[in-house]
């Protein structure tokens, strides 16, 4: 019984230890990560963003940010730990060693007469005939009597002197740190113990495995459903116009799972009337077009109308239920748009190229959703290929203000950005009619907008010139500058209710053939990661070229300084095509700002092979084909476009098949790079 009680007392200590092993290091790491975050303001400070409440750190906001599932679970576990510590402290007791001399109050080596005197004295105090207290009776039987016997009985005394116990040698006792009722295997307790063992050792791992496998079978690593990727792959076409990208985007399985309630009918009808001009309906047959629109799957209708509510800034007209669905769609949109870009850039051709036109369309759609600007605002107007869309992302701007400043020969967004501060303030206050506070807001946003420069070179390592079949290395430095001096920043997006980081897409493409040779996502948010990547890439490049250690270290230091000053290094390899001249363009597209994209023209010349052997290694970048045996008809618009511009002004059906000029997976050269800004 004593051993059972001892095991029961150890059970809280066992539970405490099991909980503390993972909990303590996890808490330390979480605290260190919290204090290591820089307390630097990287979001827009204009009054429109302030009124949106997205960055407001009120007490309720702080509680909401803290009250995440992981944080609350962590606090709860620490409360349990504190309760266990209190319980162990107040219930634990030390195991007392049997010491007969101490029990009788004698010194070691006392004589027999002293032992008898001490026993008689304690008997008067604790004997049941003298003291009716039950505790006194137990103490007399368990301790005093045994102590007297151990010291007066020759055998017991010999055992005590040899083994430290009157009963002789004591074997090693082992137990289980579990409560007594679980150790009693008779009756219901045995069933409880059995169920506990089966549940913890068998059922719990099995349930976790099933949940993990079912989730991994349904979602990709970017938490996008496999069904969504299948739909995007099927509907993605090489000639997909930017104005048609929205129709593909809303076919995500995540949007289809959002319930369509009966109560949504009337609010959606009202929303339809508000955004009808943005739905590309044929006004000549408006009734037939409306009927056709409502005959679509209800989930598609709801998804398109809610996205249009964001683009047209009509979310105030939504009911609370629709507003929850609206926020859910906007929360999912960035990752879905990223996967849609990747699907457009997926190697489809025999040469392993992706498609440029739909990729640009997806990035433009992302810009419009983040900035809440209608797609129709991209129609070419006033000499600008992007229309009035870039102006509408500025606070307090409207189409009427754009028309006013156009009379002063400021027709493009870049012209507005290139003006001096004094001239721009005069234009906004005297011509546009903005107040001084509103003008200050505009200046704040313009200072947050990125300006990009792209420095690109392509060369065959260790060789002069590029010959057909060579493995070419593309080396690109993208430099970002802002008027505010920040490198990492959050975009001005008061109508997008969630935090959104800037991301950029670098595309090396041939606009004429609609082929993307190399693509890569670039971020300016994490400087440490960029330094590590640039240092490793430069070091490997120098080692291959046979540079000395001193030269390698100098090149790495230079790369690190460039990264700290706001540059990012992008490198890629691809195989040179056949002999000829190629006019490529490096597009650097931002997924959050309108009018901040950059393109750099690259003229390359591929020479006929004259070196011995062939240089045909396996491609390591995205330009390599990902799957074999995928056959698909490639559709291409009849009129090929020569330059990059939005095409929301024309919604032609591009269903005519045409053959494309064959080009081997692509090449670049160290030829001259001519940069030109998007208008």
Among candidates 600, 648, 640, 587, which has minimal Cα distance to 278?
Answer: 648
Identify the pLDDT of residue 643.
Answer: 43
CA distances 429 to 423, 442, 513, 623, Å, are 10, 11, 46, 50
Asked if pLDDT for residue 518 goes beyond 70, the answer is yes
Give residue 492's pLDDT band: very low, low, confident or very high (50, 70, 90).
very high
- Residue 627 clears pLDDT 80, i.e. is over it: no
What is the per-residue burial (b if ≥16 Cβ within 10 Å, else e) of 440-449?
bbbbbbbbbb
Q: Which of the two residues, 624 and 556, has the higher pLDDT score?
A: 556
Token pair recorded at residue 584: 């490529």
Q: Could you give the strand order of the β-sheet that contains 471-481, starting from the edge strand earlier in sequence?
A: 451-459, 471-481, 567-575
CATH number of 100-163: 1.10.287.110
With tokens 């303001």, the residue in question is 41
Reply yes or no on whether the pLDDT at 621 is more than 50: no
Tell me what pLDDT residue 197 has. Answer: 72
The pLDDT value recorded for residue 185 is 52
* Contact by Cβ (8 Å): 568, 528: no
Residues in the chain: 679
Question: 226-369, which class in CATH?
Answer: mainly alpha
User: Which residues on adjacent β-strands are paired with residue 516?
Assistant: 354, 509
Sequence-distant contacts of 70-76: CB under 8 A, at least 24 apart: 74/23, 74/26, 74/27, 74/30
Say what the pLDDT of residue 192 is.
64
pLDDT one-digit tens code per residue, 25-80 = 988 988 877 665 444 457 888 888 888 777 665 444 444 555 567 788 888 989 99
**Cα separation values, 485 from 42, 215, 444, 493, Å:** 10, 43, 12, 19
CATH topology of domain 450-606: Immunoglobulin-like (2.60.40)
CB 518 within 8 A of CB 574: yes
Which residue carries 């507005």 as its tokens?
Answer: 416
Q: Are strands 451-459 and 515-522 parallel, antiparallel or unpaired?
A: unpaired
H or E stretch including 564? helix 549-564
Q: Is the pLDDT of residue 527 over 50?
A: yes
Spatial separation of the C-alpha atoms in residues 25 and 37, rounded to whole Å: 19
pLDDT tens digit sequence for 579-617: 899 999 999 999 999 999 999 999 999 899 886 654 443
Closest CA to 480 of 560, 349, 568, 541: 568
Task: Match 């060693």 to its residue by tokens.
Answer: 97
- In this predicted structure, which of 196-210, 310-324, 417-431, 530-544 has the lowest mean pLDDT? 196-210
What phi-psi label fits residue 469: left (phi over 0), alpha (psi between -120 and 50 degrees) or beta? left
pLDDT exceeds cutoff 80 at 390:
yes
Closest CA to 289 of 279, 298, 297, 281: 281
pLDDT tens digits for 294-350? 999 999 999 999 999 999 999 998 999 999 999 999 999 999 999 999 999 999 887
The conformation of residue 498, written as its DSSP 8-state character, comes to: S
pLDDT, position 445: 94
SS3 for 280-319 is: CCCHHHHHHHHHHHHCCCHHHHHHHHHHHHHHCCCHHHCC
3-state secondary structure at position 572: strand
Residue 229 DSSP SS3: helix
C-beta contacts of 282-285 below 8 A and 24+ residues apart: none
**505 forms bridges with which residues in the sheet?**
521, 589
- Count of Cβ atoms closer than 10 Å to residue 224 Cβ: 21
What distance in Å separates the CA atoms of residue 370 and residue 436, rounded to the nearest whole number? Answer: 26
For residues 275-286, give the mean pLDDT.
Answer: 85
Instruction: Tell me the C-alpha distance between 599 and 679, whole Å.
Output: 10
What is the predicted pLDDT for the residue at 622? 36
CB distance 343 to 220 below 8 Å: no
Query: Per-residue pLDDT averaged across 550-570, rounded?
Result: 93
| Residue pair 337/364 in contact by the 8 Å Cβ criterion | no
Look at residue 479 and tell me whether its pLDDT is greater than 90: yes
Q: Would you say residue 107 has pLDDT above 90? A: no
Cα dihedral across residues 465, 468, 471, 477: positive or negative: positive
137 pLDDT band, cuts 50/70/90, is confident
The mean predicted confidence, pLDDT, of the chain is 80
The pair of structure tokens assigned to 298 is 């209800």
pLDDT-derived band at 7, boundaries 50, 70, 90: low
Instruction: Enter the tokens of residue 110.
Output: 């006392």
pLDDT at site 654? 45
SS3 readout for 359-389: HHHHHHHHHHHHHCCCHHHHCCECCECCCCH
- Examine the pLDDT at 662 and tell me if it is beyond 60: no
For residues 205 and 231, the model is more confident at 231
- The pLDDT assigned to 94 comes to 54
Taking Cα atoms as reference points, which of 668, 394, 617, 374 lies closest to residue 506?
668
Could you state, in order of their start, the residue ranges of all structural domains in the chain? 1-91, 100-163, 184-214, 226-369, 450-606
In terms of pLDDT, which residue wins out, 27 or 676?
Answer: 27
402-451: per-residue pLDDT in tens? Answer: 999 988 888 899 999 999 999 999 999 999 999 999 999 999 999 999 99
Question: What pLDDT sits at residue 618?
Answer: 36
3-state helix/strand/coil string of 416-460: HHHCCHHHHHHHHHHHCCCCHHHHHHHHHHHHHCCEEEEEEEEEC
Phi, psi of 455 (to 5 degrees): -115, 110
pTM of the prediction?
0.71
Predicted local confidence at residue 186, as pLDDT: 54
At 153-162, the pLDDT tens digits run 777 777 777 7
Where residue 396 falls (left for φ over 0; alpha for ψ -120 to 50; beta otherwise) is left
Please measure the distance between the N-terminal and C-terminal CA atoms of the chain and give it in whole angstroms.
88
């Amino acid at each position: 019984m004593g051993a059972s009680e001892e095991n029961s007392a150890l059970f809280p200590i066992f539970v405490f230890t099991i909980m503390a092993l993972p909990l303590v290091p996890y808490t330390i790491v979480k605290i260190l990560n919290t204090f290591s975050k820089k307390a630097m303001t990287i979001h827009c400070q204009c009054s429109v963003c302030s009124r949106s409440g997205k960055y407001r750190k009120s007490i309720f906001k702080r509680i909401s940010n803290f009250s995440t599932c992981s944080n609350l679970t962590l606090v709860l576990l620490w409360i349990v730990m504190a309760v266990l510590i209190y319980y162990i402290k107040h219930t634990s007791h030390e195991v007392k060693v049997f010491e007969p001399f101490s029990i009788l109050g004698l010194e070691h080596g006392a004589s027999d007469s002293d032992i008898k005197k001490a026993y008689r004295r304690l008997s008067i105090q604790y004997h049941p005939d003298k003291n009716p207290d039950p505790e006194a009776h137990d103490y007399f039987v368990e301790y005093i009597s045994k102590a007297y016997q151990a010291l007066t009985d020759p055998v017991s005394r010999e055992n005590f002197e040899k083994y430290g116990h009157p009963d002789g040698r004591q074997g090693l006792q082992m137990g289980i740190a579990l409560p007594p009722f679980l150790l009693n295997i008779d009756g219901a307790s045995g069933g409880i113990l059995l169920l506990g063992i089966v549940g913890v050792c068998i059922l719990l791992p099995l349930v976790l495995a099933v949940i993990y496998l079912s989730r991994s079978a349904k979602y990709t690593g970017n938490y996008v459903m496999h069904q969504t990727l299948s739909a995007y792959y099927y509907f993605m076409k090489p000639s997909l116009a930017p104005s048609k990208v929205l129709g593909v985007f809303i076919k995500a399985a995540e949007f289809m799972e959002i319930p369509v309630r009966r109560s949504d009918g009337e609010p959606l009808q009202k929303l339809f009337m508000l955004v009808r001009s943005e739905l590309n309906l044929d006004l000549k047959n408006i009734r037939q077009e409306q009927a056709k629109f409502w005959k679509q799957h209800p989930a598609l209708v709801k998804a398109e109308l809610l996205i249009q509510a964001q683009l047209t800034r009509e979310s105030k007209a939504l009911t609370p239920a629709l507003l929850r669905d609206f926020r859910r769609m906007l929360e999912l949109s960035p990752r879905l748009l990223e996967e849609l870009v990747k699907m457009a850039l997926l190697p489809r051709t025999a040469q392993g190229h992706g498609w440029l036109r739909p990729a640009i369309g997806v990035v433009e759609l992302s810009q419009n959703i983040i900035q809440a600007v209608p797609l129709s605002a991209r129609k070419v107007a006033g000499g600008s290929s992007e229309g009035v869309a870039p102006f509408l992302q500025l606070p307090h701007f409207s189409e009427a203000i754009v028309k006013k400043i156009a009379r002063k020969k400021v027709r493009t967004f870049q012209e507005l950005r290139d003006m001096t501060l004094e001239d721009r303030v005069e234009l906004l206050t005297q011509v546009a009619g903005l107040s001084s506070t509103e003008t200050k807001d505009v200046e704040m946003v313009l200072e947050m907008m990125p300006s990009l420069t792209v420095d690109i070179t392509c060369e065959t390592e260790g060789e002069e010139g590029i010959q057909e079949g060579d493995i070419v290395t593309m080396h690109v430095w993208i430099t970002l500058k802002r008027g505010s001096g920040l490198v990492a920043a959050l975009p001005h997006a008061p109508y997008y209710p969630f935090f959104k980081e800037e991301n950029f897409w670098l595309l090396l493409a041939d606009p004429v053939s609609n082929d993307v040779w190399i693509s890569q996502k670039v971020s300016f948010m994490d400087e440490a990661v960029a330094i590590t990547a640039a240092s490793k890439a430069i070091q490997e490049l120098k080692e291959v070229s046979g540079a000395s250690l001193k030269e390698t270290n100098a090149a790495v230091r230079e790369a690190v300084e460039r990264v700290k000053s706001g540059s990012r290094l992008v490198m890629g390899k691809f195989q040179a095509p056949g002999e000829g001249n190629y006019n490529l363009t490096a597009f650097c597209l931002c997924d959050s700002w309108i009018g901040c994209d950059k393109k750099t023209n690259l003229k390359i010349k591929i020479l006929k092979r004259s070196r011995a052997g062939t240089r045909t290694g396996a491609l390591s970048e995205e330009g390599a084909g990902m799957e074999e045996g995928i056959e698909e008809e490639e559709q291409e618009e009849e009129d090929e476009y020569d330059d990059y511009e939005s095409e929301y002004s024309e919604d032609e059906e591009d269903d005519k098949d045409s053959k494309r000029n064959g080009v081997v997976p692509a090449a670049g050269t160290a030829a001259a790079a001519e940069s030109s800004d998007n208008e």
